[in-house]
Each structure stands twice: as C-alpha cells, then as structure tokens.
Amino acid sequence: MSADDRDVRLEELLRTSLYDEAETIVPAGDGLSRIQGRVNTRRARAAWWHPVAALGGVAVVAVAGFGAYALTRTPTHPSSVNASNTGDTPTPTPDASVSTPSAPVVSKPTFPASAFYPFTSAAAEQQWAAQDGPSKQPWVGDPEQLAKLFVASFVQQPGVTDVFARHISGRTATITLGRTLHDGNRAVPVKVTTVSMVHFDKAWLVVGASDGGGELKLTNPKPGQTLTSPAVVAGPGYGVDENVRVDVRTVNGIARTGDVPTVAFGNGVPQWSTTVPFVAADPRGAVVVVELSMADGGPGRITAVGVNFATVQAASYPQYFYGVKNGRVAKLSSRDGAAISYLTPAEPGGGASDPQLVGDKVYYVDGAGTCVNALRSVPVAGGPPTTVAQPDPGYAIAGFGVWARDSRVNTFFETSCSSAVTPQGRLVLDNTIDDTHTERSYVDFPAFPPQVVGDPSYTPDGQHVIAVVRTGTQAQVRQYSAYQAKSVDDATQPCSTDPSSGLPTAAQVDSGGAVWFATQTGSGMQVMRCAGGQTSVAFTVAGTDTPADVAVTTNGQSVLLTDTSGAVWRWTAGGSVVQLHPSVPQPQVAW
C-alpha cells in the first residue's frame, strides 16, 4: 500500500470517526429557549439601565445596576460555570423566563388531531405566536381569510374566492367558498367547498374541506388516518361523466411523486378509487380531491381530508461510489465523496474515465483523452484490469453501457478521431460471441449533430438501448432496438417531456426499466424519472450548472448527479439532496 493510499484511508477513518462520534451528541431541546431567555434578560437589563443612566446619578447607577444584574442574571450550566467569573458572580437566581416547580400548572390545549394547515403541530403554532405572527400574518387569526388562502395556496385553486356562507362559533368555523361559473352566456354562482376550521391558541387551523353540494366524498382515507405510500384514495360514485384529480399535499408543497392521477367515473359506477405515490417530509398533510366542471373545466367541487404520514425513512444509499482520481478508478465514500482506495494502477497513456459499476466489476474507458482508448473492467474486490472492447480503427469511445445480465453485451458510442472521416460517430452494439469472435452492428451518425451525449444504457431485457441524442439546440431521450436499429432516426422516444422541463444531457436505466435522465433548465438541473410513459421530476438542484452524468442504483432508490465542473449531488428517495465534496472533480460517477 502506498503512502498516498494510507493518507486517504486515514483521512476517511478520521472523518467517519468524527461523524460517528458527532451523531451520538444530541443537544438538549431547550437550547433556543435558554438563549432567548438570556437575550431577553440582557434586553431588560439594557432597557432598565438606559433611563437610569440618563438621570446622571452615577453612584445610584453603580449600586442599582449591580442589584439589577443580581436579580436578572441567568445561571449557566451548574457544572460548567466559567471559573474566571466566579469572583463577581452573585448568587444565581432563577431565570424569570424558566418555569419553576412552584408555578401554577396550566393545562395546555391539545393540538387538533386532523389539523394540517397552516400549522401541523402545537410547537409550530407557538413559534409563530412567539415571533409576532399574529401581527405579521393576521390572516391566520381570521377564518374567512384563512379559508381563502387555504383554497388558493394549499389546494391551488385561486379562483374560488366568493364567500357563500360563514359560520363562526367560538372554537369552530366553516366558510363556504365558490366562484362564478361561465356556462355559455350564463354566469352561474356555484358553491365549491366548505372549509372547516378549529381555533387553537391564537390561530385558526384547517381540519378539512367538503364539497358544498355533498356529492364528492371520500370513503378512504378517513380524517386523521395514517398513510403510507402509495395512498389509496376512494369515494362513492355519482353523476354521469365525472372527472376528479387526486393529490397528496402538505404545507410545504406537493408530496405526490408521480403525475396527478385523474379518475373518471359516473354512469352508475358505485365506487371510484386510485392510488397516489408520495414522499412526505412533513408529519401531516391532506388528500385533496378536485372535481373539474364539465362546463368550463374549472373547479366544481373540492374535498380535502387531513391525514398523518407514516414516518418515512429515507432510502439508504450504497456506501461507496466510483469515480476517477489521478487518472485511476477510485472508490469514494457516498457520504461525503472522500476517496477510499484505488481500483486500477497508475498507467501511462491517458488515465481512466467514465467508471460504471455492473455486477461486481467497474467498467471504464482506459486511455482517456487519446484516440487509442478501450473499454476495460476491473473487479470491485481488486485484481488486474481486463480489456472488454475496443473501438473501431480511427475511432475512440466517447460513452458506453454494459448489459447488466450479460457483460459480454455492451454498447458504446464511438467518435472519429479525424473530422474528415465519415460517419463522425457510430453507436456500436457489441456482442461477444466467444473468446475470438464478436458481432457488431452500427447506427451511423454521419455528421454532428445529431450525436449521442453521455452514456447509452441498456434496458433490463437487453433488447433496447436508451441514449440521449443531441440535435442542435434540442435533445431527446431515444430508444434504439439493440438488434434492428440502423439509422439515427430509427428510434422511439419513450419519455414524454415538456420542452420547458429542460434539455436532457445524460440518462441511465434502472433494473425496473425506469429511465432516469438529467436535464438543464433555466434555473437548475433536474433529474427526471420516466416509466410507463409517465415522466416526473425526482429532484432538482438549483443553479446554472450543466448536468454531466446521472448514476442510479439498480433499485432506483438513490441517484448521483454530477455537473460538468465535477460537482456531485446525492439523492435518496424519501430523503433530500446532499452535495458531496470529493477532493477532485468527479464529472462521471457510478454506483
């Protein structure tokens, strides 16, 4: 083992030791109140001090100031009083902001079990109240305003603003809201929803909303029910040709992970139902169902049921990923990007690039930056590298994919080393028949653009290859038949994408057949998941960076995203996006 390897291992060991130790350190939950208590004490002391000082009575100030200090000073932790202060520290007296055992016990009201907007816990409401919320956000204390805001921002139906009925009695309130429906030449006022609220402390809280007409009801979930993904949402049928859109939302936004399900029913169908996959970071939220009016397509009925979400554990991610350091394939920590060890030796003639983990081997392009490169593999457990495939003479491998079930089947996009050569690029389907015989078929790319960008990737059945094809200012995720495609346009587009969702730059297929691809939008990078013709956003990284690579685990639960500058982000289903900090840029990664 080299000194360099030992350094890397010691750094990783130190890092993991510190992190593990830190994980065991859990501060007491009263830190903020202790700090605020001390701040308030200082503030009170200052407020007291200034008027007295203005009197000019220096001696009075000196004595009285000490007295005030003695009365108000907050004791620090008894085990850790700063020794330098002990000489001038008066006898500690209880902080006025901290309750004492002799204080009268006031029973706190229980937070309503099905309340979900605008607060989901008593602590959140109390924090709002403590931070001058009632004067800053007075609508929280006004049920009519709260109902309107709920429908506009939570349900996202801002056109439902007309108040049809208003009942407020002490601790409960219902506000019926509607809108004007334009049907031909008629303008018809229609009730859309009745928002139910309860009063808690200084705020009104939404606990649900029902269809003002009593038709759109839910039999599942029940109010306050704890949901796990996917949520099963069902209700009794009614009407003739009805359409409802079903969503799972929280105060922080949409928890649903796929496209919004639209359910059609009516004509005597007794029951409708659908499932909604979701990932909720909040403990509470609501299932929201909106019926769209046949007359104008606007909201006709709105029902919302407050629910709890089962504690979601973020999916675990692999412990390591693979990248390149010093021209060598390297194993890196998935937690922070720190290098762990090298898999390949230092070799002359251009280093390694574009590592990809397939089974128990890491495949990579050897001879990066040269025109004599090759596709090679090295066992994860260590061992000598093996040459897997070589480009055709005069070409170099720019990107590749290996079929997970049979590593003898691979594909690569090769580009000509001379601009005078035609075709400029070729998508090569390379099947190793035996030790001496390979069978290749080609999809020619006569001149760039169009060209393949990033790595092609096999579908799980090995029958198709997914590739991002750049066509000038546009790019598409295309699917080529691994055995029949002969030309650039002899492909399908498996993922429906909205042009506004950005320019695809890299793609990979997981073992379930879902295509994950990264796009560059005007405001950031998005990783999209496409399965069964449906495309949805998995996560977003804000900024102006250009995605370089996307690596998804076989189970589709974790993704690494890189940009062209070599920055790396890790995402796990149910978790958040975390930027890693490898010591050198990692534009191409694998796990």
Partner 1 sequence: MDAAARDADEALVAIYTAHYRSLVRLAALLLHDVPAAEDVVQDAFVAMHGSWKRLRDTDKALAYLRQAVINRARSRLRHLKVVDRKASSLLPADARAHMPSAETGAMAAIDRAHVLVALRGLPQRQREVLVLRYFSDLSEAQIADAMGISAGAVKSHASRGMTALRQRLEHTS
Measured from the CB of residue 340, what is the shortest distance to partner 1 in angstroms? 8
- C-alpha 449/C-alpha 447 separation (Å) is 6
Q: Parallel, antiparallel, or unpaired for β 226-227 and 299-309?
A: parallel
| DSSP state letter for 64 | H
Q: Which is nearer to partner 1, 122 or 371 (CB)?
A: 122
User: Would you tell me which residues interact with partner 1 (CB under 8 A)?
Assistant: 1, 5-7, 9-22, 25-28, 31-32, 34-36, 38-39, 42-43, 76-77, 79-80, 82-84, 127, 131-132, 336, 581
At residue 507, the 3 state secondary structure works out as strand
Nearer to partner 1, 15 or 217 (CB): 15
For the bound state, the minimum distance from the C-beta of residue 222 to partner 1, rounded and expressed in Å, comes to 33
Nearest distance from C-beta of residue 583 to partner 1, angstroms: 11
User: What minimum distance in Å lies between the beta carbon of 21 and partner 1?
Assistant: 6
Q: Which candidate, 435, 429, 517, places its Cα nearest to that of 480?
A: 429
Please write down the long-range contacts of 264-270, taking CB distance under 8 Å and 24 or more positions apart. 265/237, 265/239, 266/237, 266/238, 266/239, 266/240, 266/241, 266/242, 267/240, 267/241, 268/237, 269/237, 270/236, 270/237
Closest C-alpha to 549, from 535, 578, 569 = 569
Closer residue to partner 1, CB minimum distance, 21 or 241: 21
CB closer to partner 1, 38 vs 199? 38
Q: Is 337 left (phi over 0), alpha (psi -120 to 50) or beta?
A: left
234: amino acid identity, one letter? A
Both structure tokens of 428: 């090569």
Cα 175-177-178 angle, rounded to 5 deg = 165
What SS3 state is found at 330? strand
- Among residues 77 and 437, whose Cβ is nearest to partner 1? 77
Q: CB 77 → partner 1: shortest distance, Å?
A: 5
Comparing CA positions, the residue from 320, 315, 314 lying closest to residue 590 is 320
Task: Please state the closest distance from residue 32 (CB atom) to partner 1, in A.
Answer: 5
Q: Output the smallest distance, CB 335 to partner 1, in A.
A: 11
Write down the least CB distance from residue 523 to partner 1, Å.
22
Block residue for tokens 């100030």: 61
- CA dist 348 and 66 (Å) reads 76
Q: What is the DSSP string of 264-297?
A: EE-TT--EEEEEE-B--SSSEEEEEEEEEPTTTS
Is the Cα torsion angle 485, 488, 493, 495 positive or negative in sign?
Answer: positive
Nearer to partner 1, 37 or 460 (CB): 37
Name the DSSP letter for residue 117: B
- The least CB distance from residue 33 to partner 1, in Å, is 10
Distance CA 567, CA 547 (A): 9
Return the number of the residue (131 or 487) whose C-beta is nearest partner 1.
131
Our CB check for partner 1 shows the closer of 15 and 408 to be 15
Q: What is the closest distance, in whole angstroms, from the C-beta atom of residue 183 to partner 1 in the complex?
A: 49
Closest contact distance (angstroms) between CB of 542 and partner 1 is 17
- Residue 11 or 545: which CB sits closer to partner 1? 11
The residue (of 31 and 499) whose beta carbon lies closer to partner 1 is 31
Minimum distance, C-beta of residue 12 to partner 1, in the bound complex (Å) = 8
Residue with tokens 């060209």: 451
Tokens of 132: 């001058």
How far is C-alpha 48 from the geometric centre of its chain's CA atoms? Answer: 49
Least distance to partner 1, CB of residue 5, Å: 7
127/523 with CB nearer partner 1: 127
* Burial tier of 187 (Cβ tally within 10 Å: 0-12, 13-18, 19+): exposed
What gap in Å lies between CA 227 and CA 195, rounded to an integer? 22
Q: Least distance to partner 1 from the beta carbon of 81, Å?
A: 9
How far is residue 519's CA from residue 507's CA, in Å, rounded to a whole number?
9
From the list 478, 472, 464, the residue with the least C-alpha distance to 447 is 472
Query: CA–CA separation, 516 vs 477, rounded Å?
Result: 10
What's the min distance (Å) between Cβ of 53 and partner 1?
18
15-19: list long-range contacts, CB under 8 Å, 24+ apart. Answer: 15/333, 15/336, 15/338, 16/333, 16/335, 19/335
Residue with smaller CB distance to partner 1, 26 or 240: 26
- Cβ neighbours for 114, distance < 8 A, ≥ 6 positions apart: 207, 208, 223, 224, 305, 306, 307
Tell me whether residue 28 or residue 240 sits nearer to partner 1 (CB atom).
28
Nearest Cα neighbor of 511 from 385, 405, 367, 352 is 405
- Closest to partner 1 by CB, 177 vs 340, is 340
Residue whose CB is less far from partner 1, 120 or 174: 120
| Calpha distance 313→228 (Å, rounded) | 11
**Which whole-number Å values give the CA distances from 46 to 61, 70, 98, 467, in the listed order?**
12, 14, 20, 68
